[in-house]
Structure 1
Amino acid sequence: MSAHRKHLTRRRLLAASSLGVAGTAAAVGTGMLSPASAATFGYSDDGSHYVIDTGASLVLKVSKSNGDISSLVYKGKEYEGFEGKHSHVETGLGASTVTIKQSESTILVKVAHGAITQWIAARSGQNNVYLWTDKADSSFTATRFIVRLRPGIFPTSDPDAWTSSDTVIEASDVFSRPDGTTRSKHYSGKRVIDYDHIGYTNGSAALWLVRSNHEKASGGPFYRSLLRHTNSTSAALYEILHYNQSQTEPERYGLQGPYVLSFTDGGAPSSSLFHANLDTSWVDGLGITGWVGRSGRGRVAGVGLKGMDAGHAYTVGFANSAAQYWARAASGTGAFSCPGMLPGTYTLTVHKGELAVHTASVTVSAGGTTTLNSITVGNDPSTANTIWRLGDWDGTPGEFKNAELMTYAHPSDSRAAKWTGNVVMGGGGEAASFPCYIWSGINDGVLVYFRLTAAQAAAAHTLRIGVTNAYINGRPRVTVNDWVSAIPSPPSQPSTRSLTTGSYRGNNHTFTYNVPASAWKTDTSQYNVLKLNIVSGSTGTAYLSAGTSFDCMDLLA
């Protein structure tokens, strides 16, 4: 037994009582226990692992050779590992330098391997594991921590779970069940801004991964990525910090965390573990390289937003090459506050829904608050006068057919409405009849019918088509009656799968088409016919043919 494994003195016990996040009342269902139960807190060395007893109900092992978490025993039950694999950053670092130290009520493990340093911490009396990842360069292709769990412990039938009887329908990670519904590890259905934790519960025990603030991640507040998966041989939780799937930003480097593994007795994790609430003052003296505590950070506070659309939520984002943050704007006033920011100059972006409608520059200083006067939203395309509009300018395909389903299902899913079908403007329910995605190999040539008055038909008009993402450079070429537009240049979009892996999120772009007066029908009783074709210089088939997702479409007055 290591000399570090010792009983707590009264002094250390009192110190431990001030280091939890919820006190003794959090003993049940939150993963936080009374310090009085931490009498066995400490670590030992079994030759191949550091064995850490939190003094609560959790004992974990960390490999001395590669830094894997190779065991997570909660209340005597092993939860960790599947198919001979363990929990680690990336897909495992291999041979690493692994060291451990105890500082009063915290045990800290450092795993060093080239450009990556992984930190693992346990605290006295807690059923939590705190994790940080420090990545210096692109020598590893992704930044994720994967918690590998034994299958069969946590029952689930969610969209990110599949069984051996399901059939692979795309790549090796999208499956169809006998009833035609689809499953994939990609189908979390959540944006980063929408969740604080992800995990599993069976009613009597639960394991959660509480995400970090993602300041060194990439993709912004609306990014969607895999969060967990379950099948007959494995289960896993993910903290994704950079993943080249529907990625819109360059990778950021540096220390990211903490993110927290939290065991409970079946309930949700304590909200005190959420990144916005977490007290990290205990981290300041641990010597974690790259760590910046509260005193080294600043805040941006905005008085409010003018020109808001009451029907939409607004988010204020901040980004530079080193960090990203965001804050929800208050409904009505648009006031916002973003604390805990690293010093630097950021691009401030106001989003209506997910559509950028204002940008500016803001500088943050350590220990200070940058206060901004009211910001006037001046780049909302919804304010333009139109003859007709299909959908809404909010940066999402949310109003269109099948849009909600596509965040947690494959387009071929049996629950999806038919992707074909045309739209008649003025008939009611137009947006719900228009497909959120159009592919060249599935539903190319969707038609939109509309009438014009004599005065409208006597003038040229601008047609706008807003898109949110595209696959293999798919973009719309339009035909209005007998007039055919030029083929537009493709905007910058992610190069990976997107529309079939639960993400419509790419780079919002608006195509404009100047339609001459000669294109319109002169008989006002006749419908003008707009035809949408998806064109691309690349080829593919079916749902992997060139495609695009739509935000809004309108004809300006």
Structure 2
Amino acid sequence: MAEHKSPSPLRRLGRRRFIVGAGAAGIAVSAGAVIEGLASSAGAATFGYADDGKNYVINTGADLVLKVSHVNGDMTSLVYKGKEYQGYNGQNSHVESGLGASTVSITQTGSTILVKVVHGTLTHYYAARSGENNVYMWTNKADASFTATRYIVRVKPGTFPNADPDAWDSTTDKIIEAGDVWSKPDGSTRSKHYSGLRVMDYDYIGWKNSAAGMWMVRSNHEKASGGPFYRSLLRHYNDGGAGLYEILHYGENQTEAERFGLQGPYVLAFTPGGAAPSAKLYARNIDTSWVDGLGLKGWTAKSGRGRVAGVGLSGRDGAYTYTVGFANADAQYWTVANATTGGFSCAGMLPGTYTMTVYKGELAVHTAAVTVTAGGTTTLHTMAIANDPAAAGAIWRIGDWNGTPAGFKNAELLTRAHPSDKRAAVWTGDYTVGSSSAGSFPCYLWKDVNNGLLVYFKLTAAQAAAAHTLRIGLTTNFAGGRIQASVNDWTSRIPAAPTEPNTRTLTVGSYRGNNVTLTYSVPASAWQSDPGQYNVLKLTVVSGTSGSAYLSPGVSFDAIDLLA
């Protein structure tokens, strides 16, 4: 294995001679001749690396040449098929917003070249493999000395066509919220937050044109936070340039404590003609046996991991997908249960004891503790779903208990648009049980926008003679918002504020929080005694926090029902 560290000022290599990684001894060559060859055509040179005095220059032996700075570990160049893709506004591609001065070294082990970047307690790796147009990356964050964990690939403006919800034009559009939400002249909205995708929904994200595809293939997110339903920015595109991300921890809308340790590989992949990246790179498929001998800090080989296999889940609702998640302080995983049997399997897990959570849609309906051992399989017998709130008999129900606002007014739009978007249906309007559709009930309720929503319903004489429990399911709240309920002349207590993320949620494409169910015991004296008269339920957002318009305290609904 050949190793080359960035030279100190006293030992910097001359600009006319450097080492190409070609075995332990290396080969001395003319810097000018090799660098010109690398830059002009990736395929013109063989697999190896060079040092141009400022960067390690890595040729994959295919169609990709990349450069990594000696000084800070930034990726300073990405040349695919002779075209430069990296860089806008003088910025490079890097961890976070750039690490600053770092210790950078390079090694070649057989058909793999590895660059190691060390900055304080954070270590980042780049790897190139012979004959591949891929950059493999890992990030090992040991503590909270960095506020987030992300890699951003900076892409030249105008390189790819893009008119998706995460693209905007700063020359024509105007900022309407916090510097990162934009309104176009036609009233539609755009933001880097509006990917519309949960982590489990995608294997890769990026762009394509007739010449090339540029993709970020996500890692398994075992050291990330937020679980399978977490939504975060994945890319952005504007007149100044584009950014392609792997987000491993982001302070916005986090429902879990941050995890530390080695995360990856995530892969920057180039493809000819805009083709999709190879499915062999997907987190669930990738063969990482070649990584075992590279000496990555925190790397655990397949032999040091275990598996959980479940025979099945009984008591499921066939209308929903069931996801089985595993989480502890050190790692997280998930898998989708078989739609017919409810069986599931989750492999590649680090040893330890996990809380296993079964989700109907995004609503937790079963939990248990599961222990994973290295090299072993933990087998679970059929488990019965016993905590589905939809199983309770209800006089009426608005929406479905699934942990999301799906089916409510504007729910489909708001993972890719701002609530003020011209395409959004009017937020006000009351609801009548038995005649209104769920689609007329707003997915979100804000103190300063559509507060005091009224729900009209009738009860039979027998129903009105008894007390009943009112349940309101919330997927999250913003700024401490919660619901105070009143029925006719009766008013509930003010519930305690649920524990939720203290960042923006409802305006940045995410309804996901800590699903909670607020319950209210409504006495028989609250009801109308005449079965022909409507009872009027009023839903009022209350909070000790102020705010205006769509940044006022608010909530996202899961379902509402009155139990029999």
| Counterpart position of 1:505 | 512
Alpha-carbon distance in 2 for matches of 1:350, 1:132: 29
| Counterpart position of 1:289 | 297
Name the SS of the counterpart of 2:216 in structure 1.
Answer: strand
Alpha-carbon distance in 2 for matches of 1:410, 1:121: 39
Indicate which of 421, 429, 451 corresponds to 2:458.
451
Name the SS of the counterpart of 1:134 in structure 2.
Answer: strand
| Counterpart position of 1:262 | 269
Indicate which of 295, 307, 326 corresponds to 1:299.
307
1:48 aligns with 2:54: yes
User: What per-residue deviation string (whole Å, max 9, x for no partner) do you get for residues 387-436 of structure 1?
Assistant: 0000000000001000010000000000000000011101152x111000
Aligned amino acid, residue 381 of structure 1: P
C-alpha contact 2:237 2:243 (8 A) present in aligned 1: yes
- Deviation, 1:332, is 1.9
1:161 aligns with 2:167: yes
| Counterpart position of 1:10 | none
Alpha-carbon distance in 2 for matches of 1:252, 1:108: 25
Aligned amino acid, residue 425 of structure 2: A
- Deviation, 1:2, is 4.5
Alpha-carbon distance in 1 for matches of 2:43, 2:20: 17
- Deviation, 1:4, is 3.3
Residues 407-486 of structure 1 correspond to what in structure 2 (within 5 A)? 407-429=415-437, 431-486=438-493
1:85 aligns with 2:101: no
Structure 2, unpaired ranges of 5+: 1-16, 24-41
Aligned amino acid, residue 494 of structure 2: I
Indicate which of 71, 76, 83 corresponds to 2:82.
76
Residues 309-388 of structure 1 correspond to what in structure 2 (within 5 A)? 309-388=317-396
Alpha-carbon distance in 2 for matches of 1:361, 1:203: 50
1:252 aligns with 2:268: no
Indicate which of 189, 200, 213 corresponds to 2:196.
189
C-alpha contact 1:203 1:267 (8 A) present in aligned 2: no
- Deviation, 1:204, is 1.8
- Deviation, 1:38, is 9.1
Alpha-carbon distance in 2 for matches of 1:513, 1:245: 31
| Counterpart position of 2:401 | 393
Indicate which of 136, 140, 146 corresponds to 1:140.
146
User: What per-residue deviation string (whole Å, max 9, x for no partner) do you get for residues 50-90 of structure 1?
Assistant: 00000000000000000000000001100001111111111
Alpha-carbon distance in 1 for matches of 2:416, 2:295: 41
Aligned pair count reads 528
User: What per-residue deviation string (whole Å, max 9, x for no partner) do you get for residues 76-131 of structure 1?
Assistant: 10000111111111111100000000001000000000110000000000000000
Name the SS of the counterpart of 2:143 in structure 1.
Answer: coil
| Counterpart position of 1:4 | 20
C-alpha contact 1:4 1:102 (8 A) present in aligned 2: no
Alpha-carbon distance in 1 for matches of 2:487, 2:280: 57
Alpha-carbon distance in 2 for matches of 1:530, 1:368: 54
Aligned amino acid, residue 86 of structure 2: E
Alpha-carbon distance in 1 for matches of 2:380, 2:97: 43
1:527 aligns with 2:527: no
C-alpha contact 2:484 2:492 (8 A) present in aligned 1: yes
Alpha-carbon distance in 1 for matches of 2:518, 2:436: 25
C-alpha contact 1:229 1:235 (8 A) present in aligned 2: yes
Alpha-carbon distance in 1 for matches of 2:425, 2:258: 37
Aligned amino acid, residue 348 of structure 1: M
Aligned amino acid, residue 88 of structure 1: H
Name the SS of the counterpart of 2:258 in structure 1.
Answer: coil
| Counterpart position of 2:33 | none
Name the SS of the counterpart of 1:407 in structure 2.
Answer: coil
User: What per-residue deviation string (whole Å, max 9, x for no partner) do you get for residues 200-219 of structure 1?
Assistant: 00122110000000000000
Alpha-carbon distance in 2 for matches of 1:38, 1:48: 22
Alpha-carbon distance in 2 for matches of 1:399, 1:189: 16
Indicate which of 228, 231, 239 corresponds to 1:224.
231
| Counterpart position of 2:4 | none
Alpha-carbon distance in 2 for matches of 1:354, 1:116: 33
Q: TM-score, normalised by structure 2?
A: 0.93
- Deviation, 1:548, is 0.3
Structure 1, unpaired ranges of 5+: 8-35
User: What per-residue deviation string (whole Å, max 9, x for no partner) do you get for residues 420-476 of structure 1?
Assistant: 0011101152x1110000000000011100000000000000000000011100001
Aligned amino acid, residue 483 of structure 1: W
Name the SS of the counterpart of 1:405 in structure 2.
Answer: coil
Alpha-carbon distance in 1 for matches of 2:372, 2:258: 21
- Deviation, 1:37, is 6.6
| Counterpart position of 1:276 | 284
Alpha-carbon distance in 2 for matches of 1:469, 1:75: 47
Aligned-residue Cα RMSD (Å) equals: 1.2
Aligned amino acid, residue 302 of structure 2: R
Indicate which of 100, 104, 127 corresponds to 2:110.
104
Alpha-carbon distance in 2 for matches of 1:223, 1:469: 13
User: What per-residue deviation string (whole Å, max 9, x for no partner) do you get for residues 219-274 of structure 1?
Assistant: 00000000000000010111000001111000000000000000001110000000
Name the SS of the counterpart of 2:501 in structure 1.
Answer: coil
Alpha-carbon distance in 1 for matches of 2:184, 2:156: 23
Name the SS of the counterpart of 1:409 in structure 2.
Answer: coil
Name the SS of the counterpart of 2:239 in structure 1.
Answer: coil
C-alpha contact 1:5 1:40 (8 A) present in aligned 2: no
- Deviation, 1:5, is 4.5
C-alpha contact 1:482 1:519 (8 A) present in aligned 2: yes
Alpha-carbon distance in 2 for matches of 1:492, 1:223: 17
Alpha-carbon distance in 2 for matches of 1:271, 1:329: 21
User: What per-residue deviation string (whole Å, max 9, x for no partner) do you get for residues 145-196 of structure 1?
Assistant: 0111111000100000000210100010000001100000000000000000
